[in-house]
Structure 1
């Protein structure tokens, strides 16, 4: 299992055994380059606005809300509108370049944007950090249980809330 903390430079917090190798990106710039490469390979159009939203998500260092992204875009361009940001986020989500954390309505960059996958997140309720747990056994277990019940999942988001190691030290 690999656990990667979403932090200012998107460095993995720790690494342990994994079934498959995942390419983790050391910084926001290399992450954006990886998304540009994946977009080219898939024939996707990463427009300047989509790229800028992606850069803002990657540079945030923690889950970021759509309206925070909108505020950042308005600082740069003055006239950004909510639909513009949401369309860019929808494109990035649909193509697996970012993840949406539904419980806190925020977005984080994906540590391995070149492959489709479902990952659980550990979300700190104190500092709002999020750790992406890269272990396909979790998704496989959920899929197997769904199949056993005759259920066909269409989307899977697993979010576990608690207090991270750093915040536990502070209390």
Structure 2
């Protein structure tokens, strides 16, 4: 993926998918085929429930709570027991196919599945859209601070709240 320097210390990916115009049906097809291939290669089961949960996540460019996912599963005939949604979400997040947005206690599909990356999330407080981009953790200011403290960073997740360009344009 092409990278663009945004500051002296942070390297990010290009514009996040949720923040630019795109053919949304490709998002769903690409995510499902990537997940199927990943699970096949890793000898993991990509069950109908896991597939449906990923589909639900990809259909939106905003984070979705587990109970909303459970309601959609119920509507599609998958049952209504909370463990059903939570087990599928755990599988998807553990295998890099989805992320939990801690700030919202909700989930989104990963836009860089199967790629080693440090996610950063841009959360619109107006429309609740969530866009994923990537950081180079070693090049962030926090990475430098961690090195100076002889702290080995194992995971870095950045969540930033603001207003997306669509919502900002509506207020002008």
Same fold (TM > 0.5) = yes
Number of the residue aligned with 1:162: 162
Number of the residue aligned with 1:3: 15
TM-score (norm 1): 0.81
Number of the residue aligned with 2:81: 81
In structure 2, C-alpha distance between the alignment counterparts of 1:61 and 1:159, rounded to whole Å: 15
Determine whether 1:153 maps to 2:153: yes
In structure 2, C-alpha distance between the alignment counterparts of 1:39 and 1:143, rounded to whole Å: 32
Give, in angstroms, the shift of residue 109 of structure 1. 1.0
Runs of 4 or more, structure 1, over 4 Å off, are: none
Map 1:1-171 to 2 at 5 A: 1-6=13-18, 13=20, 26-77=26-77, 79-134=79-134, 136-138=135-137, 140-141=139-140, 142-171=142-171
Q: SS where residue 90 of structure 2 aligns? A: helix
Give, in angstroms, the shift of residue 133 of structure 1. 1.7
Give, in angstroms, the shift of residue 140 of structure 1. 3.7
Q: How many residues align?
A: 155
Give, in angstroms, the shift of residue 138 of structure 1. 4.7
Question: How has the CA–CA distance of structure 1 residues 140 and 93 changed in structure 2, closer, same or farther, with 3 Å as cutoff?
Answer: farther
Give, in angstroms, the shift of residue 114 of structure 1. 1.7
* Unpaired stretches in structure 1, ≥5 consecutive residues: 7-11, 15-24
RMSD: 2.0
| Deviating more after overlay: 91-100 vs 152-161 | 152-161
Give, in angstroms, the shift of residue 78 of structure 1. 6.4
- Deviations for 1:52-81, whole angstroms, at most 9, x for unmatched residues? 111111112321111100010111226321
Give, in angstroms, the shift of residue 168 of structure 1. 0.8
* Unpaired stretches in structure 2, ≥5 consecutive residues: 1-12
Q: SS where residue 115 of structure 2 aligns? A: coil
Contact 1:3-1:132 at 8 Å conserved across structures: no
